[in-house]
Amino acid sequence: MTQQLSEKEVRVEFVVDAPIDKAYDVFTNGIDRWWPRGHHIGKGELAQEVIEPRQGGRCFGREVDGTECPWGTVLVWDPPRHFAFSWEIGLNWQHETDPERASRVDVAFEPVTADRTAVTLVHSDFEKHGEGWESMRDSVRSKDGWADLANAYAKAAAA
């Protein structure tokens, strides 16, 4: 796994031991299987992570009491090659309701062999978060950020 650091984006590249269709499905429809319960911006206990499988679909956490905590919107739904969503999480780690203040996450899938898939995740447009946007970039590129999430995802995709 490689993580490339730049001023304006965080890029994580890795290969999963899964065919491309499965790799895409586990990242999107199967997000609840690999997303860590501690990575949740809601106030209650996380019961389920959900990505609605369509452009314009919602990305949200559902808490044990049924409360839904939105954190994104599907921007691109192009199985099995490309998935993108808005990162609607503000610098205060709460839901950002203004779509103009959301960054973007693109995930591309490319077959390496019939049973292995290269995955490239790029989180960009941090400056849309406004003054202090660097704190969001630094957080998602930290050891507990996208690289750690990619490891959890890769294990789920290989299962």
Q: What is the CATH number of the domain that holds 140?
A: 3.30.530.20
Prediction pTM value? 0.95
Helix (H, G, I), strand (E, B) or coil at 86: strand
Position 155, amino acid: K
What does the pLDDT look like over 62-110, one tens digit per residue? 999 999 999 999 999 999 999 999 999 999 999 999 999 999 999 999 9
Domains in the chain: how many in total? 1
CA distance 48 to 71: 13
What does the pLDDT look like over 7-24, one tens digit per residue? 899 999 999 999 999 999
Which residue range forms the structural domain that includes residue 87? 2-158
CA distance 99 to 108: 22
Cis before 80 (ω within 30): yes
**Phi/psi of residue 157, each to 5°?**
-65, -30
